[in-house]
Amino acid sequence: MFEILALAGFLIVALLAVTVLGMILLAVKLLVWAILLPLRLLFKLLWLPFALAFVMLKGVALGVLGLVLAPVLALGTLLVVLGVALAALAAIVMPLLPLLVLGLVVWMLVRLVRGPALAPRA
C-alpha cells in the first residue's frame, strides 16, 4: 500500500515539474515574441507594397482566366441543359411507345382490310 502512495507522490511531483517547465517555456516564448514584435511589424510594413502588387497581379490573372473560361463554361452549361431537356423528352415519350406500336398495328390491319386505293380516272 505504501508503494502505491509513493508512486502516486512521484507522479504528482513529475507532473508539477512538467507544469513548471511548461510555464517557464511559455514565459520565454512570450518574452521572445514581445522583443521581436517591432521587427515583425517593420518587415510587414516593408513587405506591404510587394503584397499589394501581388494581390493586384492575382486579380488581373483571375480576370483574364475568367474571360477565357466564361465561354467554355457557357458552352458546357448549354450542353448540360440540352442533355437534361433530351432526357426529359425521352422520359415523356418512352411510356407512349406501346400506344404508338398499337396504333401502327391497327393502321396495318385497316390497310389490309380495305385493300389498295383506286387511282381516279382522268
- 94-104 mean pLDDT: 94
The reply to whether 119 falls in a domain is: no
Look-up: residue for cell 493586384? 56
Q: Is pTM, for the whole model, over 0.75? A: no
The reply to whether 118 falls in a domain is: no
Q: How far apart are CA 107 and CA 100, in angstroms?
A: 10
Mention every residue, 6+ apart, whose C-beta is less than 8 A from residue 51: none
Number of domains within the chain: 1
Q: How far apart are CA 118 and CA 97, in angstroms?
A: 32
- Summarize pLDDT for 4-54 with one digit per residue, the tens: 999 999 999 999 999 999 999 999 999 999 999 999 999 999 999 999 999
- Summarize pLDDT for 49-79 with one digit per residue, the tens: 999 999 999 999 999 999 999 999 999 999 9
Residue numbers of the domain that contains 35 = 2-113
CA atoms within 13 A on the CB side of 111: 7
The reply to whether 103 falls in a domain is: yes
The reply to whether 121 falls in a domain is: no
The reply to whether 122 falls in a domain is: no
